[in-house]
A and B are shown apart, each in its own frame.
Chain A
Amino acid sequence: MSRLHPLCFIVVFALLSGVARSAPYTPQSDDQVLERLPFKATASEGRELRQLRRALAEQPQNMDRALALARRYFDLASAEGDPRYVGYAEAAIRPWSNLTEPPLQVLVLRALLRQYRHEFDPALADLTRAAELDPGNAEVWSWRSAILLVQADYSGARAACDRLARVASALLASACSTAVDGLSGSSAQAYAELATALARRPDADPDLKLWIQTRLAEMALRQGKDELAERHFKAGLALGVSDGFILAAYADFLLDHERAAEVVPLLRDWERSDILLLRLALAEQAAKLPAAPAHVAMLKERFDASALRGDKLHQQEEARFHLYLQGDASGALRLAEENYRVQREPRDARILMEAALAAKQPQAARPALEWLRASHYEDPLYAGLAQRLTGGAR
């Protein structure tokens, strides 16, 4: 055995490749673009934002100006999906939100900002106080019902819809109530009611139509009508409104139906969204595409960065990431359990059940099974998961 051989190899290989690591650097050229801003300063959005900022700077004690700017920031946070604007909005209304009795409009906006950060109970407390100040405020009731739906409090959500019905149009009231019914065992009736309502209003806003098509698709899925669901997804996408919600829901549908290859062109340009990037990576892995490892690494980097600051906004996605892209069932289960304490939408229950199955700890899925039983949620896929879990427990 010659001692030389391995050492020769080592030297050769050591020379062959350098180690590539991200580190601070000095760009070569002044023209190198380092960062692209959400919009140009000269564009109308940028101008409007600058005007609102300047107006507030002139009169820092003017609450209406602060609210106008904060509202604009909140809308941007939702539209651009950029949580930085939530921090900006909070800072703009800080002088009033720090008061012991914040004014109505500040309470409402603070509730929206809090729910954005998944602080649901403080958000509900703000809405409760706001409803006391102004019981006829449609926005307060609609947000209340939306938050209670996420917490799976269907009777509370329905009560909020009833209050909304007194102050809003019939169409909006039925959109609110069918959203609750569709989750609690009556998706057939809810589907029929919502479909009729949509047919009656061909003039409706494209945003509203998109939302209704997504909900109809989900209700059809719950009844096991997959083809009908896909027709609604496609009708929604054909409206040409860019919306992450429908893209994610349709991507999940395709992934569930082993049509991963179709997900890739759908989400190719959505890397910047954590939620859609997860689905893209899942699809690329399922279709064994070479882009998968890079996207998995990108997701890991994003989850690591938010862990560093102590954020837990995307635990549902992070749980799916651990379960399906890292093969870490116990880590996924821990995240899914923690997530389910805060968020209880069907998707949250699903990842909890899937992680519990994979980790061979069926008892951990109990909260999800209890929800499934109590809500009468109908989706056959969920029933299948529940059956495997209870079978496994026996």
Chain B
Amino acid sequence: MSTFKPGLVHTPVTPFKQDHSIDYDTYAKVLEFHIRNGADALALPMPEGEDMSLTDPELRKLLEFALKQVKGRVPVIAHASDAGTSIAVERALHAEAAGAAAIVSNPPYFWHPKASMVVEHLVRIGTAVKLPFYIYNPPVESVGTTLSTEIVLDVIKRVPNLAGVVDASLDFVFMEEVMCNGRQLRPDLQLIAGGDFMVSSGALGGTGAFSPLSAIAPRLARSLFDLCRKNQFIEARDTQESIGTLNHAIKSAGESGLRDGLAGLKVALGSFGRECGIPRPPVRGLGEIERGRLLEELAGMTFLKAEPRGW
């Protein structure tokens, strides 16, 4: 199987203009920022890139744009997820042809199919391409299907190019079971933290991370990642707590029922001199009071002092 190891993966936001169209000039700056600030790879557009709010043509164009801008300096992992299996398969094929380094896919959005159907959905995407394939377990609070250990084991058995699981469920039991049972079937199966909670994942043998907060605090995320790669989990606790504090402030700002933090993330980016507009509807931007509260909290986070301002 592939030896592709993504390392610390940054997951860029998608900037929008006032009229909600994609702001490609700013997107180029976003990508350059991540490459300059320690991304081993990029994955896009992940939930922080508002993949669900983009149309199919936009998703394809965005990926092509990113690949052209990045020019092979770091691998780009393309996110191909949708409610319908054939739509997701086509998008994955497009990403492969366009030059992505790997594919990552969610279980189908919206539907709550039986486990065997989730397996079928993921197997169809994974076997359609030759690239390393990652499956993504969404956060526990998200709406739709999540992965069970059994689903993962079935996908491993049927998809020879399955490289690993990106876990955003943050569920200790899932991570344990996938590592101990999955590695019996595929000894080099990778566990990738689907978020900036790298200590728990790393302690269980995880080797990579998809890091949304690298958009704000790339130095902190890099330092946390490096400590975990060196098995210094106890020493990593302080840094993990700092990242946790930042995560909490961003996710709890605003009215999103999912606490997805999209609006908070863009406000925080603006306050660091990297204006990326507001999220697309139906996500609401922050009101003035919420915005003020978040900015005040960010200003109180002394651990952010060393982080880069501007582009």
Do A and B come together as binding partners?
A: no
